[in-house]
């Protein structure tokens, strides 16, 4: 029953959702575990991690919701969380930041980190 309840609380979203200054707070409160990829179009490491985030969104669908926040278009949220380097993945659990991953990491390392939260 507990497993069924957990599945019901996180919808099966199999690709990253767009997160903005306007919807950030509501998004991270709506889902138990959200990982927000803070990125910019000009950032080569951000472009390199993007397909990994896409894969993880599919693989963790129903357990973790992934979001993408363009820091150039959403400076308020970037400033609020003190984003100094990108890519930065904010790990949000029950609406609060519990960890962050800064820089381009291999998929296996990201999975290890994510596994400790899901």
Provide the residue-wise pLDDT of the chain in tens; the chain has 118 residues. Answer: 344 344 445 668 999 999 999 999 999 999 999 999 999 999 999 999 999 999 999 999 999 999 999 999 999 999 999 999 999 999 999 999 999 999 999 999 999 988 888 6
Domain presence at residue 68: yes
> Is 43 marked active-site?
yes
Q: How many domains does the chain have?
A: 1
Catalytic residue, chosen from 19, 46, 65, 101, is 46
Other beta carbons within 10 angstroms of residue 1's beta carbon come to 5
Question: How far is 44 from 7, CA to CA, in rounded Å?
Answer: 35
Q: Is residue 1 part of a domain?
A: no
CA atoms within 13 A on the CB side of 94: 1
Within a domain: residue 3? Answer: no
Give the N- to C-terminal CA distance of the chain in Å, as an integer.
Answer: 17
Residues 6+ apart with CB under 8 A from 92: 28, 33, 34, 35, 36, 98
Residue in 33, 36, 43, 110 annotated catalytic: 43
The verdict on pTM exceeding 0.85 is: yes
Concerning whether 46 is annotated as a catalytic residue, the answer is yes
DSSP 21: T
């Amino acid at each position: 029953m507990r497993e069924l309840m957990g599945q019901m609380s996180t919808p099966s979203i199999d690709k990253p959702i767009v997160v903005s200054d306007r919807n950030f707070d509501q998004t991270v409160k709506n889902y138990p575990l959200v990982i927000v990829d803070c990125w910019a179009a000009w950032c080569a490491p951000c472009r390199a991690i993007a397909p990994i985030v896409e894969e993880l969104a599919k693989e963790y669908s129903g357990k973790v919701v992934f979001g993408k926040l363009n820091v150039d278009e959403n400076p308020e949220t970037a400033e609020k969380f003190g984003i100094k380097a990108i890519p930065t993945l904010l790990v949000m659990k029950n609406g609060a930041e519990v960890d962050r991953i800064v820089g381009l990491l291999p998929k296996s390392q990201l999975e290890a980190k994510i596994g400790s939260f899901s």
